[in-house]
Amino acid sequence: MGHHDDLNELLRQTRELAVQTQVANADLADREVTGACAGGAVRVTITTSGAVRSVTIDPQAVNPDNLRHLEGRVAEAMQNTLDNVRVLMEQMMQPLTDGLARLTAEQP
């Protein structure tokens, strides 16, 4: 294959990767992710773009004499949700980063 053919193939692969990236970004923008703690007594749902959709607290998790405990549980559920978003994004982007790695590895 000549230099011109190599360049055309590289451009084709780059365009394909760009389209896959746009599709993955669009898919991620609308995803909702939930995190929880205390066996699901405190749940937080956010979008992958960071919009908080809901916070749900089981009434049995509420002790009016110890609101700091509940505050800590909400923070824990929020952190769990953010961790879940990070994992989802990594999973969705992995094929793209693999494709980019293959693309760069193929070049002299």
Residue 108 has pLDDT above 60, yes or no: no
C-beta separation of 24 from 96 below 8 A: yes
pLDDT in tens, 9-62: 777 877 887 787 787 777 777 789 999 999 999 999 998 888 899 999 999 989
Instruction: Look at residue 57 and tell me if it is in a domain.
Output: yes
pTM of model > 0.85:
no
- CA distances for 36 relative to 39, 43, 77, 89, angstroms: 7, 4, 5, 18
Residue 107 has pLDDT above 90, yes or no: no
Instruction: Look at residue 16 and tell me if it is in a domain.
Output: yes
CATH at residue 34: 3.30.1310.10
Domain interval for residue 77: 3-94
C-beta separation of 92 from 24 below 8 A: yes
pLDDT in tens, 58-75: 999 899 899 999 999 999
